[in-house]
Amino acid sequence: MPIPWLGRRDPFPPVEEALDEPNGLLAAGGDLSPERLIDAYTRGI
């Protein structure tokens, strides 16, 4: 399964889509804004 590349405003994929190997990889890209990090944290990412 290809890794989704997130733009700045793209939502996270469902955590159920995280890869087994490498462990838990869900997506790449995005940004590290406080809002993005809080969103990830609340989703258990």
The count of structural domains within the chain is 1
Q: Answer yes or no: is 44 within a domain.
A: yes
Task: Name the pTM for this structure.
Answer: 0.78
pLDDT of residue 1: 72
Q: Answer yes or no: is 2 within a domain.
A: no
pLDDT of residue 19: 93
For 10-43, the pLDDT digits (tens) are 999 999 999 998 899 999 999 999 999 999 999 9
| Residue 26 belongs to domain spanning | 15-45
- Residue 31: half-sphere exposure toward Cβ, Cα within 13 Å: 8
User: Is residue 40 within a helix (H) or strand (E), and if so which, with residue range?
Assistant: helix 34-42
Q: Answer yes or no: is 28 within a domain.
A: yes
Q: Answer yes or no: is 25 within a domain.
A: yes
**Three-class secondary structure of residue 41 per DSSP:** helix
**How far is the C-alpha of 33 from the C-alpha of 10, rounded, in Å?**
13
Q: Answer yes or no: is 8 within a domain.
A: no
Q: Answer yes or no: is 9 within a domain.
A: no
Are the CB atoms for 3 and 25 separated by under 8 Å?
Answer: yes
The answer on pLDDT for 2 being more than 90 is no
